[in-house]
Amino acid sequence: MKVRLTSVFVDDQAKALRFYTEILGFVKKHDVPVGGTDRWLTVTSADDPDGVELLLEPAGHPAVKPYRDALAADGIPLAQFAVADVRAEYERLRGLGVRFTQEPLETGPVTTAVFDDTCGNLIQLASEL
């Protein structure tokens, strides 16, 4: 068994696609209309295009807003992305205007940082020392 797909809820799929591809560096994998303005819209790592897909899922379900609001209020990231060097990625993303809610922090053998993805989620970056 392995993870093939996971998702983040997004307020606006077009905005999310721009952020996740143009700022974070993911690449679009699937973009299929599924009714109305919603799409089955996935991105993958540019380094592993056949790896795990991240679904940019519309946040229309009534349970999504209270769930995400509660996580954000407590500073809890919705997802974690692995990077080779959190400090370097922090500087790169800050230079592109990304707002961080946690600067790089060493916690034992792991360094983490948390940013706002502009789509309603906090995302944690992590790298092992």
Whether 57 shows a pLDDT value over 90: the answer reads yes
Band (42; pLDDT cuts 50, 70, 90): very high
Percent of the chain at pLDDT > 70 equals 100
The answer to whether residues 30 and 76 touch, using CB atoms and an 8 Å cutoff, is: no
Q: Indicate the pLDDT class of residue 35, thresholds 50, 70 and 90.
A: confident
Looking at residue 115, its pLDDT comes to 98
Q: Taking the CB of residue 27, how many other CB atoms lie within 10 A of it?
A: 14
Domain definitions of the chain by residue range = 5-128
Instruction: Return the amino acid letter for 46.
Output: A
First to last CA, the chain: 28
Q: Assign 49 to helix, strand or coil.
A: coil
Summarize the confidence of residues 46-57 as an average pLDDT.
96
CA dihedral sign of residues 48, 78, 55, 12: negative
Average pLDDT for 40-65? 96
Return the ∠ at Cα 57 (arms to 121 and 86), rounded to 5°.
40
- The fold adopted by the segment(s) 5-128 is 2,3-Dihydroxybiphenyl 1,2-Dioxygenase; domain 1 (3.10.180)
Q: Which two tokens stand for residue 5?
A: 């797909």
The whole-number pLDDT of residue 129 equals 81
The residue assigned the tokens 């509660």 is 70
- Work out the average pLDDT over 39-47: 97
